Structures are given as C-alpha cells and as structure tokens.
C-alpha cells in the first residue's frame, strides 16, 4: 500500500507541473537548467538518506548512454516547457504521452523487436487520437495560443523521451535511482553552456512568484517526485506501475481545467482517450512479453 501511495503522489505532483511552469517568468531553457540543478542537489541528499551508494565502475561502463540520455532529458524538458507556452496543458500532456508510441515505432530498429499487428493497431489508433486533438475547431490558433506549434513541441519532447526510454533499456546493472541521478546531473551540465550562450544566465529580473515556483518545480516536481517514484517501483509490479502512471495525464487535464480554466471539446476528449488507451495497451503488451521472457529463463 505504501508503494501505491508513493507512486500516486508522484503522478499527482507531475500532473500539476504545467500550472507552475506557465507561471514562471523565465525562458524554457532557464527553467530546465534550474530544475536540473535543484533536482540533482535534492536527489544527492536523498541518496544519503536512503543510503544509496553510486557504483562509479558501472557508471563508467555506461557513460556513453548516460551522457546521451541525460542530454536528451535536458532538451526534452525545454521542448515540453515550450509546449506548455504555445498550447494548453491538456494538448501538451497528451502529445507528450505519445512517447510509448514512438518507442514502439523505434524498437524494431534499435532493439530488434518484432512489430506485431496489434502494435501497428495501437500506433494507428494513437495517430487518429492525435489528429482529433490537433483538430481544434479547424483553427491552429486561439487567443494567445498557437496550438499546432505547441503540439509539435510536445511531440518533439515525446521523441526525445522515447529515445531516453530506449537508451535506458540498454543501460546495464544500474538501479533506476542511480540512472536518474546521473542523467539529471548530465542534463544540468549539458544545459549550462546552452543557457549561458542564449540567455546569459541573467536571473536578476526574476520576481518572487517565479522564484517560489522554480523552487517548487526543482524540489517537489523533480527531487521529491523522482524520489517517491524510484523508491516505490521496488515495491510494485510492472503492470501496477503502468496503470497508476495514467494518473499523471488525467490529473494534468483536470488541474488545468480547475486552475487555468482550460477545457477540451468532446472530439478532443475522444482523441485523448484513444491516445492514452493505445499507450496503455502498448505498455501492457511490453509487460506481458517481459513476464513471458522471465518465465522462460
């Protein structure tokens, strides 16, 4: 029960992230950098609390994949935060949750996995869902939003996250906690020169609200949420984790509706159900395959 409570809390925290990002008066790259810095510091402290030792030998053996995946996470954050700025949180979140579909598309090339007819059906279903979400009253803009651009950023973030998932499958013998901590630190190191060149790291104009929200984003949405997630997965089955993970996008849509007055029309809701249904089915298939492989071993 403790494990379920931890992962539910983590998903609710991540579901509220868009509301905070939208109210931080900094560029997406600056927000991503500060999130990485604060989150890394918090997780380093957390590793001492849970007495999690880092295996420098194993980290060195996986250094190339850790560097590439960490860089991917950093750029992924920038794209996701840009999606929040250009479209609604609902659209950004649903397009971001296309990541498992991209994993299915790329897996035959990267992991030599077979693309079954059922997986092809999931991909087509998700594509139809995305079309319904994008088709916002026949207009790509409304008010201050540019939905097509925002959804494109969300899909770009999903591609990068999918690449991180695939690379993580190739990382050997490191725990999820170790992998995430190193990736966050790499993301911070990679983002630093980019932000310095682009935004000159000038935080002098940041207001009190933005400062509070960036601390919440770094400590709660990154440090605490990742800590809860990776300490809970040891206590739960893979299928339970997959099901509870859908609290994130559902809560994101609800929180955006309550606090920002965002809404989705019926067609978009149908599209969202198709996307989440297809991704859930794909994750369930992966879980069943892993379970079958373990039983044969």
Taken in order 258, 262, 268, 272, the sign of the CA dihedral is: negative
The residues, any chain, with a CB within 8 Å of residue 159's CB and separated by 6 or more, are: 99, 102
Interval 111-139: pLDDT, tens: 777 778 888 888 899 889 888 887 654 45
Q: Which residues pair with 145 in a beta bridge?
A: 142
Whether the predicted model's global pTM rises above the 0.85 cut: yes
Question: How do the domains of the chain map onto residue ranges?
Answer: 2-296
Q: Which segments of the chain have a pLDDT < 70?
A: 1, 135-143, 238-239, 285-297
Cα distance between the two ends of the chain: 30
- pLDDT score, position 9: 95
- pLDDT score, position 137: 45
Distance between CA atoms of 13 and 31, rounded to whole angstroms? 17
Distance between CA atoms of 78 and 85, rounded to whole angstroms? 11
């Amino acid at each position: 029960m403790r494990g379920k409570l931890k992962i539910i809390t983590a998903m609710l925290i991540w579901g509220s992230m868009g509301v905070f990002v939208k109210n931080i008066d900094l560029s997406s790259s600056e927000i991503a950098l500060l999130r990485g810095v604060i989150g890394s510091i918090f997780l380093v402290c957390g590793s001492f609390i849970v007495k999690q030792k880092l295996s420098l030998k194993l980290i060195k053996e996986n250094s190339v994949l850790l560097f590439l995946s960490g860089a991917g996470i950093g750029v992924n954050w920038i794209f996701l935060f840009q999606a929040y700025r250009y479209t609604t949180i609902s659209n950004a979140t649903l397009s971001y949750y296309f990541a498992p579909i991209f994993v299915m598309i790329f897996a035959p090339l990267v992991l030599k996995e077979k693309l079954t007819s059922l997986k092809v059906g999931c991909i087509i279903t998700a594509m139809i869902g995305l079309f319904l979400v994008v088709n916002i009253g026949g207009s790509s803009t409304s008010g201050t939003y540019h939905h097509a651009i925002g959804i494109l950023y969300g899909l770009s973030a999903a591609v990068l996250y999918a690449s991180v998932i695939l690379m993580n499958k190739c990382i050997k013998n490191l725990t999820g906690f170790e992998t995430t901590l190193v990736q966050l630190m790499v993301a911070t190191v990679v983002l630093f020169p980019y932000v310095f060149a682009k935004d000159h790291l000038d935080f002098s104009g940041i207001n009190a609200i933005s400062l509070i929200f960036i601390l919440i984003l770094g400590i709660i949405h990154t440090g605490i949420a990742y800590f809860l997630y990776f300490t809970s997965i040891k206590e739960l089955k893979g299928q339970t984790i997959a099901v509870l993970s859908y609290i994130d996008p559902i809560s994101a849509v609800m929180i955006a509706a309550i606090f920002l007055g965002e809404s989705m029309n019926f067609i978009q809701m149908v599209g969202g159900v198709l996307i989440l249904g297809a991704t859930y089915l794909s994750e369930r298939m992966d879980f069943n395959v892993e379970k079958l492989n373990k039983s044969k071993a």
